[in-house]
Amino acid sequence: MMDYITSHGLDIITTVLGLIYILLEYRASIWLWLVGIIMPALDIMLYWQHGLYGDAGMAVYYTVAAIYGFVIWKFCKKRNQKEGEELPITHMRKELYLPTLVFFLVAWGITYYILATFTNSTVPVLDGFTNALSFVGLWALARKYIEQWFFWILVDAVCCYLYVGKGIPFKAGLYGLYVIIAIAGYFKWKRMMMKVKSEERRVKSEE
């Protein structure tokens, strides 16, 4: 038993941190970014050990993105955001759809090429897919767009499949749970967004 725990230590620790992260994201808590800085540092070692070089590289990006996300949530404002009000949950603007799709396809192609050419990755297509879509997902999360949940549902489902195949059971189970929480998170954020809009309409009607 102890040998098993020792051999899967990083997997277990990052799984626990991952659960904390997704629950904080579900609640739209700014503290998710703190966990988002710590967890990727450990993930780099875990993924590298199992030949998931694309994911290891993404973990570096996750650390930088977590710092960016914290700064955006804490200090930046959206259109019509009031002074002192926290960054609101909103929909992506329609004019962002096409640039986002183009960025994703280009990032997927570049990531696939790097993995297939310079590493011994056995899953460059799917590894590249999850990495490219994670770029988009983290950006959307940092901007607090509700659509970020759709991106993560896809990423988490594919990652669950990859980790099962790579023999990382705890991480695979975590990402399976992520899919469920991401679906619930979408509806949670939608209720939070509608509550804010309802309150704004009430205030305007009283003016």
DSSP 96: G
State whether residue 166 is helix, strand or coil. coil
Residues 91-126 pLDDT 10s? 999 999 999 999 999 999 999 998 899 878 788 999
pLDDT value of position 46: 80
State whether residue 90 is helix, strand or coil. strand
Give the pair of three-digit tokens for residue 23.
Answer: 């629950």
Closest CA to 55 of 131, 116, 164: 131
Residue 189 is which amino acid? W
Residues across the chain: 207
Give the pair of three-digit tokens for residue 58.
Answer: 């993404």
Residue 13 pLDDT > 80: yes
CA distances from 152 to 7, 10, 84, 157, 185 (A): 28, 22, 29, 8, 10
Q: What Rg do the C-alpha atoms of the chain give, in angstroms?
A: 18
Q: What's the mean pLDDT when you consider all of the chain? A: 85
pTM for this predicted structure: 0.79
Give the pair of three-digit tokens for residue 155.
Answer: 């990423």
Closest CA to 69 of 147, 142, 137: 142
pLDDT value of position 113: 94
Residues 153-175 pLDDT 10s? 999 999 999 989 888 887 788 88
pLDDT value of position 154: 96
Residues 44-95 pLDDT 10s? 888 887 777 767 877 888 888 898 899 888 887 666 666 666 788 999 999 9
